[in-house]
Amino acid sequence: MILLPVLASLPALAGIIRVSPSGPIRSIKQAIEKAKPFDTIIVEKGIYKEGTIIVNKPVYLKGINYPVIDGENKYEIITINSDQVTLDGFAVQHSGSSSYNDIAAIRINNARKVTIRNNQLDDTFFGIYSQHAGSCLITGNTIRSYPKTELGSANGIHCWKSDSMQITNNKISGHRDGIYFEFVTASSIRNNYSHDNLRYGLHFMFSNKDIYDNNTFERNGAGVAVMFSKEVTMLNNKFLSNWGASSYGILLKEISDSHIEHNDFSRNTTGIYLEGTTRIMVTKNHFNGNGYALRIQASCNDNTILQNNFTGNTFDVATNGSLVLNKFSRNYWDKYEGYDLNRDGVGDIPFRPVSMYSMVVERNPTAMMLFRSFLVNLFDKTEKMLPGLTPEGLRDDQPMMRSLKF
C-alpha cells in the first residue's frame, strides 16, 4: 500500500502517443501538438515529410525500425527548443543547404539535457547543431554527407557557445569538419570515428577545459585542429593516414596548458604541428611512419616532449628557428646510433633529432627532390659530428635504447 501513491503519480504524468502512416495520428507535428510534457511519442516505420518539425516541450521521440524524416533538400528538419527532449532511432535525411544560413538536420537551440542517440543522418548540410546548449548527450549516431568542396559543405556535429556536452560513439564522414567546437567548455568527445572529412576530423576554436579521448581520426584533410584554446586534454586517440600537402594528425595553434598522451600517430604527413604553443606536455605517444613526427615552430616555448616512441618517420623533428625553448627527454628514437656502456637503458650521448636536411627543406621545400640521395646522407652525418646549421639546444640528453612500453 505504501507504493501505491508513487506508482500512481509516475505513469499518470506521462502518456504514449503513436504515429504511423495508417493510424489515426499520421504526423509527428500533430503528435507533438497533442503531447503533454514528458509524454512518449512512438513513431512507426514510414516516410514523414513535414517541413521543419519544432519540438517545444519535453518529450521522448522514439523511432521504431528507423522511420524516415525527409527534409526534401529544402528544410531544417528538426528544431529542438525545449529542455529534456530525447530523439532516438530515426533516419533523418536530405536537409536543406545554404551558403548564408546554418541549416541543420537536427538543431538544439538554447536547451539543456537533450539526448540525440542512435539516429542515422544521411545527406545533411549541418548534421547535429547545438547553440547555447548545455549538458546534452549526442551518442551512437551515424552522420554522412557527400559534398565535393568545402564551400558546399558544413560540419557533422557543430557545437557553438555550449557547455558540458558529451559527444560519444558517433560515426561521422563526408563533412567539412567531422566535429566542430567553438566557445565550448567543460565538454568531452569520446569513442567517435571521424573519417574522410574534407577539412578536419575535429576542430576546436576558443574552447577551454575540454577532453577528447579514444577517438579515431582517419583519412581527413587533417586529423584535428586545436586553436586559440587552453586546458585541452587529448588521450588515447588514433590519428591515421591524414595525408596532404598541409595535413596533420594534430595542428596546435596558440594553445596552452594542455596534455597529449597515449596517442597513436601513424602515416600522417605531420604527426603534430605546433605553432605558438605554451606548456604542452607530449608524453607516451607513438609516432610511426609519418612524414614529420613533430614540426615545432620557433614561436613555441616551455613544451615538454617526454617518453615517446619515434619509429619509421622520414623526419623525427623539424623546426624553423635556432633558439630552443622546449625540452626533449627520455624518448626512444630509432635513428639513434649511440651506445649504453653502463647498461641502464639510457644512451650515453645526446641525440639530435633535427637533421640538417630537414632544416634545408623547411627553408626551401623544393630541396625535397634530393631526399635519400648520397649527398644528403653525407651532409647529415657531418652535421651530427660537427653541428652548425641545426639548433644546438634541440637534443634529447637521455635517449632511450629500446622502444618504450606503455
* Structural domain includes residue 73: no
Rounded distance between C-alpha atoms, residue 106 and residue 131, angstroms: 11
Helices vs strands, H then E, count in the chain: 4, 39
For residue 292, is it within any domain?
Answer: yes
| pLDDT, tens digit (0-9, with 9 covering 90-100), for 13-56 | 679 999 999 989 999 999 999 999 999 999 999 999 999 999 99
pLDDT tier at 382, thresholds 50, 70, 90 = low
With a pLDDT cut of 70, the percent of the chain lying above it is 87
Q: Report the CATH number that the domain containing residue 227 is assigned in CATH.
A: 2.160.20.10
**Residue 378's pLDDT is what?**
58
Residue whose C-alpha is closest to residue 238's, from 251, 256, 223:
223
pLDDT at site 180:
98
Q: Residue 193's closest CA among 227, 159, 226, 167?
A: 167
Residue 313 vs residue 373, higher pLDDT: 313
| Element at 106 (helix H, strand E) | strand 104-109
- Which residues form the domain of 340? 82-385
CA-based radius of gyration for the chain? 26
- 107 — pLDDT class (breaks 50, 70, 90): very high
Strands 256-261 and 233-235: parallel
Within 10 A of 30 (CB to CB), how many other CB atoms are there?
14
Rounded to an integer, the average pLDDT of 344-366 is: 75
37 falls within a domain: no
- Reduce the DSSP state of residue 47 to 3 states and report it: strand
Lowest mean pLDDT among 10-14, 82-86, 226-230, 295-299: 10-14
Q: Which DSSP state fits 35?
A: P
pLDDT at position 87 over 80: yes
Q: What are the pLDDT digits (tens) for 167-181?
A: 999 999 999 999 999
pLDDT at 325: 87
Taking CA atoms, 367 is separated from 122, 246, 322, in Å, by 45, 17, 20
What's the pLDDT score for residue 243? 87
Does residue 60 form part of some domain?
no
Does residue 173 sit within a domain? Answer: yes
Is beta strand 278-283 parallel, antiparallel or unpaired with respect to 304-306?
A: parallel
Whole-number mean pLDDT of the chain? 90
Reference 313, options 287, 338, 350, 340; nearest CA is 287
* Separation between Cα atoms, residue 333 and residue 353, nearest integer Å: 8
| Rounded Cα–Cα distance for residues 105 and 128 (Å) | 6
Eight-class DSSP state of 185:
E
Q: What is the rounded average pLDDT of the residues 81-96?
A: 97
Mean pLDDT confidence for 367-391: 55
Burial 31-52 (b: 16+ CB within 10 A, else e): bbeebeeebebbbeebebebeb
* In a domain? residue 199: yes
Residue found under cell 594534430: 250
Is residue 19 included in any domain, yes or no? no
Place of cell 521543419: 52
Residue 366 has a pLDDT of 60
Whole-angstrom distance, CA of residue 32 vs CA of residue 17: 9
Cα 373 to the chain's mean position, in Å? 38
Q: Is the pTM of this model over 0.75?
A: yes
pLDDT of 369: 54
Angle of helix 374-385 versus helix 356-363 axis, rounded to 10: 120
Residue 8 belongs to a domain = no
Burial class (CB in 10 A: 0-12, 13-18, 19+), 279: middle
| Count of structural domains, the chain | 1
